[in-house]
Amino acid sequence: MTRMAATRDGYGQALLDLAGNEKVVVLEADLGKSTKSLHFRKAYPDRTISCGIGEQNMLLVGAGMAASGYIPFASTFAIFTERAFEQMRNGIARPNLAVHLCGSHGGTHTGTDGSSAQSIEDLGIFRTLPNVVVMHPCDDVSTRVLTMQLPALGTPSYMRTARNKTPVLYDGREDEIKIGKGIVLKEGNDVAIVACGVLVSESLKAAESLKAEGIHATVVDMHTLKPIDGQLIDTIATRCGALVTAEDHNVIGGLGSAVAEHLVANTFAPLEMVGVPDRFGESGQADEMLEVMQISAHYIALAAKKAISRK
């Protein structure tokens, strides 16, 4: 049976794993229990700074610490990272200070917290900032591995994690996970599905349903949206001739936009985008939200057929 876990748990474990590096410090904005940085705080209270409900201040504290040689990891809900966009831009990205921001509970899959708490624009917002690496991993293993690679990055980053449990795909495959490199999870020549976050497992389900109809899909986990793995996009565009992107994010500005930007300037292929259709979310259970937003496996499979028809 497939193990289930939340990506936020992978983030919390990675912070503990990184504690051997005495330069690593953790910043919280009153939500350490939810982002899972609380485990580091309990073990290393002298290297944890509580900034209260002050996200702007938290990022500038992080900037000051990064400028002083520390490696700060700051976290809060994805929706609240947006309060600190100007500080992320001018205080961190512009001077290129290696502060690592994690936004938990992103996307409509957050569910019952409702539209005000469902960040559907965070990946697009931070993707616009020079120097900032943007990631949205799909399971706790990849979240842990990617987080542990951040101290060597030397530039700022934004990572989205999720509260709800998703299938674990990378047990025993840790060596395949690298910032900036997409991972092929399934191979087929008819269409390529490029996904991130919770929709990676939905894309694998879609590929199975397509296989039953004689359609063979490649499925790619594009956990890093910026820098996008253009070489892999070129490869699958050439091989499959049609692409689908799948993300729990506004269809404008996120993974779909990143892939489209690459396609029009490089190896072109028709692209169908599955994502939140330029609207706000609503309150509902996680799986209900995937149906309401038409981003579940069923809709990914429909998009794949449409993309194939456009070859």
The catalytic residue positions are: 55
Query: How far is Cα 158 from Cα 103, in angstroms, rounded to an integer?
Result: 7
**Contact (Cβ atoms closer than 8 angstroms) between residue 95 and residue 155:** no
**Contact (Cβ atoms closer than 8 angstroms) between residue 138 and residue 173:** no
Dump the DSSP string for 34-81. HHTTHHHHHH-GGGEEE--S-HHHHHHHHHHHHHTT-EEEEEEEHHHH
Tokens 């449990």 belong to which residue? 165
> How many CA within 13 A on the CB side of residue 184?
13
Query: How far is Cα 13 from Cα 261, in angstroms, rounded to an integer?
Result: 34
User: Could you give the angle at which helices 230-240 and 255-265 cross, rounded to 10 degrees?
Assistant: 70
Please give the span between the terminal C-alpha atoms of the chain, in angstroms, as a whole number.
Answer: 37
User: Could you give the angle at which helices 140-149 and 7-17 cross, rounded to 10 degrees?
Assistant: 40
